[in-house]
Structure 1
Amino acid sequence: MRSSIPSLMIDPHRFSIGPADAEIAMLQWGESGKPPALLVHGTGFVAHVWHEVARELASTYTVYALDRRGHGASHKPGAYHFLDYADDVCRVVDTLDLRDIYGIGHSAGATDLLLAAKLLPGRFARLFVMEPTVMDPRAARSGGLSEESLARVQGTLRRRAEFDSADAVFERYRAAPAFADWTETSLRAYVRHGFAPLDDGRVRLCCTPEIEAAILLPIYEAMEQVYIGDARGNPFASLTKLDCPVRVTTAAKSGPIYKEMARRAVSLIPGVTTRVFENAGHCVAQEVPEHVVEAVREFAE
Structure 2
Amino acid sequence: MSTNVTADAPEWFRTAVETEPEHSSIIVHGARITYRCWGEPGAPGLILVHGGAAHAGWWDHIAPRYAQDRRVVALDLSGHGDSDWRDAYSLGIWADEVAAVATAAEATTDAVLVGHSLGGLVGIRTSAAHPDLTEHLVLVDSRILDAEMLDEIQRNQPEEGIPRGSKHYPSPEAALERFRLVPDHPSLDYARTHVARQSVVRDDDGWRWKFDRGFADELTDLPSHPPSSCRLSVVYGEHGVVTPAMIDIVTAGLDEPARVVELAGAGHHIPLEQPLALMDVIDHVL
Which residue pairs with 1:168 in the alignment? Answer: 174
User: Shift in Å at residue 126 of structure 1?
Assistant: 1.2
* Count of paired positions: 266
Which residue pairs with 1:236 in the alignment? Answer: 223
1:278-297 aligned at under 5 Å gives the runs 278-297=264-283
Which residue pairs with 2:128 in the alignment? Answer: 118
- Could you tell me which runs of 5 or more consecutive residues in structure 2 were left unpaired when the two chains were aligned: 1-11, 162-166
- Poorly superposed stretches of 4+, deviation over 6 Å: 149-152
Q: Structure 2: which amino acid aligns with 1:189?
A: H
Which residue pairs with 2:251 in the alignment? Answer: 266
Is residue 79–residue 211 contact of structure 2 (8 Å, CA) maintained in 1? yes
Superimposed CA distance per residue, residues 186-213 of structure 1 (whole angstroms, 9 cap, x where no aligned partner):
323332332111347x41012143x2xx
Q: Structure 2: which amino acid aligns with 1:198?
A: D
Is residue 43–residue 109 contact of structure 2 (8 Å, CA) maintained in 1? no
Which residue pairs with 2:231 in the alignment? Answer: 245
User: Shift in Å at residue 244 of structure 1?
Assistant: 3.0
Please give the alpha-carbon distance, in whole angstroms, between the structure 2 residues aligned to 1:207 and 1:192: 14
Structure 1 residues 150 and 95: alpha-carbon distance in aligned structure 2, compared to 1, 3 A threshold: closer
Structure 1 residues 260 and 9: alpha-carbon distance in aligned structure 2, compared to 1, 3 A threshold: farther
Which residue pairs with 1:206 in the alignment? Answer: 210
**TM-score normalized by structure 1?**
0.76
Please give the alpha-carbon distance, in whole angstroms, between the structure 1 residues aligned to 2:62 and 2:43: 17
Determine which structure has the larger helix proportion and give its number. Answer: 1
Please give the alpha-carbon distance, in whole angstroms, between the structure 2 residues aligned to 1:288 and 1:236: 26
- Could you tell me which runs of 5 or more consecutive residues in structure 1 were left unpaired when the two chains were aligned: 137-144, 219-228
Which residue pairs with 1:46 in the alignment? Answer: 55
Which residue pairs with 2:7 in the alignment? Answer: none
**Equivalent of 2:75, from 53, 61, 66?**
66
**Equivalent of 2:193, from 188, 191, 194?**
188
Please give the alpha-carbon distance, in whole angstroms, between the structure 2 residues aligned to 1:150 and 1:253: 19
Which residue pairs with 1:298 in the alignment? Answer: 284
Which is bigger in relative contact order (C-alpha 8 A, separation at least 6)? 1
Q: Structure 2: which amino acid aligns with 1:215?
A: A
**TM-score normalized by structure 2?**
0.79
Does the residue aligned with 1:74 lie in a helix, a strand or coil? coil
Is residue 236–residue 263 contact of structure 2 (8 Å, CA) maintained in 1? yes
Which residue pairs with 1:223 in the alignment? Answer: none
Q: Percent identity?
A: 21
Does the residue aligned with 1:196 lie in a helix, a strand or coil? strand
User: Shift in Å at residue 55 of structure 1?
Assistant: 2.0
User: Shift in Å at residue 241 of structure 1?
Assistant: 2.5
Q: Structure 2: which amino acid aligns with 1:48?
A: G
**Equivalent of 2:102, from 50, 70, 93?**
93
Please give the alpha-carbon distance, in whole angstroms, between the structure 2 residues aligned to 1:264 and 1:203: 41
Is residue 54–residue 199 contact of structure 2 (8 Å, CA) maintained in 1? yes
Q: Within the alignment, does 1:32 sit opposite 2:41 as a pair?
A: yes
